[in-house]
Structure 1
Amino acid sequence: MARKRGMQYIPYDYEAAYNKAMEDMHEWFIENLFQHRKKVIYALKEITAGDQFEIEIYPQFRSMDEVPPEGRTIKKDNNKAQKNLNDKNARKYVERLINENFSDRDIWMTLTYDDEHLPPDGDVDAAIKNVQKYIRRINYQRKKRGLPNAKYVYVTAYNPDAEIRWHHHIVMDGALDMETVESCWKQSSRNEVRRLQTDENGLSGMANYIVEEKNRVPSEKRWNSSQGLRDPRIKVVHSKRPAAGGSYKKIGSFVDKMVKDRDSIPETLKKWYPDMDFTNAAVYYNDFNCMFYIHARMRKRRSTGEKTNKTDKTGIEKSRFI
């Protein structure tokens, strides 16, 4: 019966609906929000992608009239056909897809063009055909070596207004040696191929870098992936135990404390997920209905002595041991 009731809640874009950050808000303002809200059901979405773990806490509604106007669009999670990186949900999906399917054993390359092979301005189809030919050459070389077809995610970057030349970012499994991987690209000799390096955010820094907004052109379908990649795992619940062995409580019963005292968020999450290390969290609100959206990131705890990497936003730097 509970599952049937859950189906009655309407999907909406809760990130767009709650887009005002609670950082440095005065205590009086927060108390005022509490006084003007209605009682609603809060959901907790758990997203697992490789070692990365995210939670999203948001209110659910039975009518679109109750949703803030900014969020009154249908939220499409993990829509594989959605290849337009202008949509933030597509960018999030690409980030999670990379975290779920790739690791330090794999590679990240940036493939460029010399003047002789540069695609015409705005001709994204011509650029994508070049990537597809490249993937075919890669798979030919892999077949010669008895390897299966490559696993990959690629993003095509170009924006004439920002003076960004055509280039392609590709994340690929590392079964084929990097010299052969680079030699299969025929459009330029000035490319960059390197091993992926994870940090406390997994591969999210690199993934966000390759889909960043400055590289986008409206309505262009510019990312794609190989078949057979694992989807991030998503679970939605409406209650949690405050600690091991305790009784379950509705998610909404935890929200007030998380909003009033943001320092309590890592403490609460540690009790919910004792095998995870907290990374960061943020609280957002909307004065349309005075409700909240909470997003937090965690990471699967590493064992002592396991190798990790300290990296910049592009995922390149030195390794260390913890």
Structure 2
Amino acid sequence: MAKRKRGMTFIPYDYEAAYNKSLEDMHEFFVEQLFKQGKKVVYALKEIRAGDQFEIEIYPQFKKMDEVPPEGRSIKKDNDKAQRNLNDKNARKYVERLINENFTDRDLWLTFTYDNEHLPPDGDIDAAIKNVQKFIRRVNYQRKKRGLPNARYVYVTAYNPTEEIRWHHHIVMDGDMDMDVVEGCWKQSSRNEVRRLQKDENGLTGMAKYIVEEKNRVKSEKRWNSSQGLRDPDIKVVHSKRPTAKAGGYKKIGTYVETMRKGHEQVREQMLKWYPDFDFTDAGIYYNDFNSMFYIRARMRKRRQQ
């Protein structure tokens, strides 16, 4: 849906694809010239909270598609492939954030494979998905016997014939039931991997990216699913911020871009001013010659109490 701000309607577009040139190796003089060439535009700031992880995305917004760099023009009737790619990218990001929001180190990461006798036919994702659903029914049956509620889970079905990757399933599931009992509910192979999740400085993002990576699974809207009742990541879009968390008065996001586009250290300093309860992890600054505008992303994590 388009975003509305004071009577204005902004069109949706793929801002990651539109701004894909990194400023990391560009000389400061050229960065300055690039910024001077840019037109005045509304910048949005998107805050995404998922568990201990906090992502920030800053990007320009437009009213007309011809104002968008060509690489980001995915919302068009004559560009179905680009639209599918955007949908796929957004789905993968959502799965990563859903896992961070709902699971911890006490939960499980399951990887289930197939022996030759039970291997689904090439390209038959319906058959593969049915096997996962049967597994989940068996798990819930065992949980009911133990007085436990139904499992909380996210699963991703992986398969790619061009990479010679056989059908397999990655499942993130709550750890309320014994791992051996959970593994015993999978009947299609004995060569599986079951382990506890382990967070790093990016929470569970590294694991989540691995199980949804492009080369490792079939493209399909049905390739992933989740149990009911999981918490959605918290996403908020704003167009102005205070200079610091405690300061009074708001400034348009574009005024902060002028400073942050100079480098990672400037992004880091601003993020810590806005969000003092979080530790800074990393950032990226990107631009496009088409309109000399910027996309800035940052990642932070909730500061742990001593």
- TM-score by length of structure 1 reads 0.87
Written as runs of structure 1 = structure 2, the 5 A alignment for 1:49-128 is 49-74=50-75, 87-128=88-129
Q: Are the structure 2 counterparts of residues 151 and 165 from structure 1 closer, same or farther at C-alpha, using a change threshold of 3 Å?
A: same
User: 4+ runs of 1 displaced by more than 4 Å?
Assistant: 82-86
Q: Which residue of 1 aligns with 2:154?
A: 153
**Separation of aligned partners in 1, 2:7 and 2:102:** 30
For structure 1, the residue ranges without an aligned partner over 5 or more in a row are 76-81, 305-322
- Mark the CA change 1:27 to 1:279 in structure 2 (over 3 Å): closer, same or farther: same
**1: distance between equivalents of 2:134 and 2:110?**
16
Count of residue correspondences: 297
The answer to whether the 8 Å contact 2:263/2:285 transfers is no
The answer to whether the 8 Å contact 1:156/1:169 transfers is: yes
225-234 or 211-220, larger mean C-alpha shift = 211-220
* Map of 2:31 onto structure 1: 30
Shift in Å, 1:178:
0.5
Q: Conserved in 2, the CA contact under 8 Å of 1:84 and 1:222? A: no
- Identify the match of residue 292 of structure 1 among 287, 291, 294: 294
Q: Cα deviation per residue 1:294-313 (whole Å; 9 max; x = unaligned)? A: 01000000112xxxxxxxxx
Aligned equivalents of 2:214, 2:69: Cα separation in 1: 25
TM-score, normalised to structure 2's length? 0.92
Superposed displacement of residue 125, structure 1: 1.1
Q: How does 1:249-260 map to 2 (within 5 A)?
A: 249-260=251-262
Contact 1:86 1:219 in 2 (8 A): no
- State the shift of 1:115 in Å: 1.4
Q: CA contact under 8 A between 1:86 and 1:218: conserved in structure 2?
A: no
1:248 to 247, 250, 262: 250
2:270 and 2:87 map into 1 onto residues whose CA distance is 34
Assess if the C-alpha contact under 8 Å between 2:24 and 2:263 holds in 1.
no
Indicate the SS of the match to 2:144.
helix
* 1:91 and 1:211 in contact (8 A); partners too: yes
Aligned to 2:131: 130
Give the conservation status (yes or no) of the 8 Å contact 1:269–1:278.
Answer: yes
1:220 is displaced (CA, Å) by 5.9
Q: Secondary structure at the match of 1:46?
A: strand
Q: 1:85–1:221: 8 Å Cα contact kept in structure 2?
A: no
Residue of structure 2 equivalent to 1:176 = 177
Could you tell me which amino acid in structure 2 is paired with residue 195 of structure 1? R
Between the aligned partners of 2:211 and 2:233, the Cα distance in structure 1 is 19
Q: Kindly report the root-mean-square deviation, in angstroms, between the aligned alpha carbons of the 2 structures.
A: 2.1
Q: Which deviates the most, 272-281 or 123-132?
A: 123-132
Q: Where does residue 79 of structure 2 map in the other structure? A: none
Kindly state the Cα deviation for residue 147 of structure 1 after the two structures are TM-superposed.
Answer: 1.1
**Residue 61 of structure 1: how far off its partner (Å):** 1.3
Q: Percent identity?
A: 78
User: Distance in 1 between the 2:117 and 2:305 partners?
Assistant: 50
CA contact (8 A) 1:85 1:222 kept: no
Q: Indicate conservation of the 8 Å contact 2:157/2:218, yes or no.
A: no
Report if aligned partners of 2:4, 2:10 keep a CA contact under 8 Å in 1: no
Match of 1:269 in 2: 271
Give 2:188's aligned residue.
187
Match of 2:283 among 271, 281, 284: 281
- Counterpart amino acid of 1:194? R
